Amino acid sequence: MKNNNTPVIAIHGGAGTISAATTSATQAQAYHDALQSIVRAAQAQLLKGASALDATCLAVELLEECPLFNAGHGAVFTHEETHELDAAVMDGATLAAGAIAGVCHVRRPVRAARAVLEDGAHVLLAGAGAEAFAREHGLEMVEPFFFSTEARRQQLYRVRDTGRVVTDHEGAAMTPPLDEGKKFGTVGAVALDMHGHLAAATSTGGMTNKRVGRIGDSPLIGAGTYADDRTAAVSCTGSGEMFIRVAAAHDVCARMAYGGATLEAATHAVVHQSLPAIGGTGGLIAIDRHGNLSLAFNTEGMYRGHARGDEAPATAIFA
């Protein structure tokens, strides 16, 4: 096992039935390049002594700004052709957590979640109250069209005609790259810093054609996001309702704390047993207090990247 002084960063850009058979080298390279640059930025901060919380928030901010992913700029549309964004952060050292849900003017939702954590009065703020809080804390606000891309709008139109609500990669007719109709659109990061502390952060635009007001697992502490220095940091991506029902992120940590499971065994049990038992698909990234890493998913692919210490980052899309 690596000692706790070796920092580790891992990120994900969503899981789903991304098809290797229909993925061109150019499409794949765009994702690898984005994941590489974001991992490197967070890795550099960790090597300078930054906290795991700072590194995960930086990584998720950069993912939110990249239109390849369904968080921030490039977020999917609700049934009413609006955007509702969710994000959460958790500090494993203190179990402090902050989250926001259903916002449409906050440029970087993860910053608002971090502000909720630092304020300390609440854990989860939603809707207009969350936006007022963000304004009071001086965060950058934008008009909702900032998050829109034409590819996402066309994705909504195709899905809305079917009457379905889909995660960000369902439906074979969606726009490339990488079969954008069949991706679970969430981004996240987990980190272990050189001080031995863990943190997790997650952000999402939700589900295409979702009902206004729908909230998934990403901003729910214990469902899509969790971190505890005694066990692990976890960020999830997938069919959010199912992740909520099995308290996926916390269950990984609970299996380790109470059952003595290794990180690999705990994540495997959640991703390949608990979730499929109720029809749940997707994946998660997790780092334990020893620096062990798990990037588990039960779909064909999950956009992911990681780096340990000063080693070159590794990125992958398929199994």
- Could you list the residues known to form a binding site, using ranges: 214-217, 237-240
Find out whether the peptide bond into 276 is cis, omega within 30 degrees of 0.
no
Residue 166 is given by DSSP the state: B
Residue 44: helix, strand or coil by DSSP? Answer: helix
CA 62 – CA 41 distance, rounded (Å): 9
Asked whether 39 and 48 are in contact (CB, 8 A), the reply is: no
3-state secondary structure 75-119: CCCECCCCCCEEEEEEECCCCEEEEEEEECCECCHHHHHHHHHHH
How far is the C-alpha of 126 from the C-alpha of 115, rounded, in Å? 13
Active site residues: 186
Contacts (Cβ under 8 Å, ≥6 apart) of 142: 105, 106, 107
Q: Shortest CA distance to 71 belongs to which of 35, 107, 42? A: 107
Q: Which residues are annotated as a binding site for substrate?
A: 214-217, 237-240
CB atoms near residue 40 (< 10 Å): 15
Number of H helices, E strands in the chain: 9, 13
